[in-house]
Amino acid sequence: MTERLRIGSRGSPLAIRQAELVSELLSSAWPSLRLEIVPIKTSGDRLAQVALADLGGKGLFVKEIEEALVGGGVDCAVHSLKDLPVTLPEPLTLSAFPPRDDPRDVLIGRARGDLKALPSNARVGTSSLRRRVQLLSIRPDLQIEPLRGNIDTRLRKLNDLSLDAIVLAAAGLKRLGLDPETAHWLSPDEFVPAIGQGILAIEARAEDKRVNALLGPLDHALTRCEALAERSFLSAIGGSCHTPLAGHARVVEQELRLTGLVGTLDGQQLLRDQVSGPLDQAAALGAQLAEQLLGRGADKLMKATQ
């Protein structure tokens, strides 16, 4: 009998494309596997014009999908890792992390150029507190405008709302095959990405041995290491959707390097630090980085934003 696997996903064009990418990887690993992508509308999708902090956090992009997974309506689910809260429902686990895509942010303006080239008091669209504080730390004159919706919607709003620029994730653009002419790629060393940015996480029921065995070949060891370090940092520092927080890990010559950043909403106070160490110490390094930043007053900055 041909095995079947149902993949749960949000219904946005990007989410479906990400589920398709995972489906393609599974087809390569298991040619006889019959695959079905099941679109699921989440609370976050239904309230697309409301700020995430007002909604109650990014967990609203996964709640209904995880309910379907727990209830057996789907066998696994594909998420952007940055959408997942640090704590999963008890029956679920992150079974596989395919190789990480580009973690960078991209500035897309009306004309080519970097942040310094934007006009005085330029209007820049983003609803990310992390992007907001880093933009304002570089250009305090910028006017930050709320911007939600799928990628096509945000690109359209660049003109419809007469914005000077918007900031998007490079991975989303690449997965959809988009390459705007005015895109400027922001270095992760200068503009720290979101925790989990560029990483796909495949979630399954922890006790489902059949599904976890099917997902096993998709797990990329170095990406899992980076994901573990970043999520350990998030857990240890106690960040939330109200926290302007960034964290980015990368493996360089078999060493894990992890950068973290916390700031105030006006961008005038930024705390940034870095740790490095062996790959098998990923979780410990995340906790160490959080401890260093908390020791420098990160908790006070986070409380000031709530």
Which tokens is 239 given? 């960040």
- Residue 155: strand, helix, or coil: helix
Which tokens is 271 given? 């705390």
Residue 83 annotated to the active site: yes
Mode of pairing for the β-strands spanning 165-169 and 143-145? unpaired
- Residue 209: strand, helix, or coil: helix
262-to-116, 252, 292 alpha-carbon distances in Å: 22, 24, 12
- Output b/e per residue, 157-179; b: 16+ Cβ within 10 A: bbeeeebbbbbbbbbbbebeebe
Output DSSP code: residue 86: S
212-to-8, 84, 207 alpha-carbon distances in Å: 15, 19, 8
Write down the residue that tokens 């970043």 correspond to: 230
Mode of pairing for the β-strands spanning 183-186 and 76-80? unpaired
Q: Tell me the one-letter amino acid at 67.
A: E
Given the residues 83, 101, 102, 164, the one annotated as active site: 83
* Catalytic residue IDs: 83
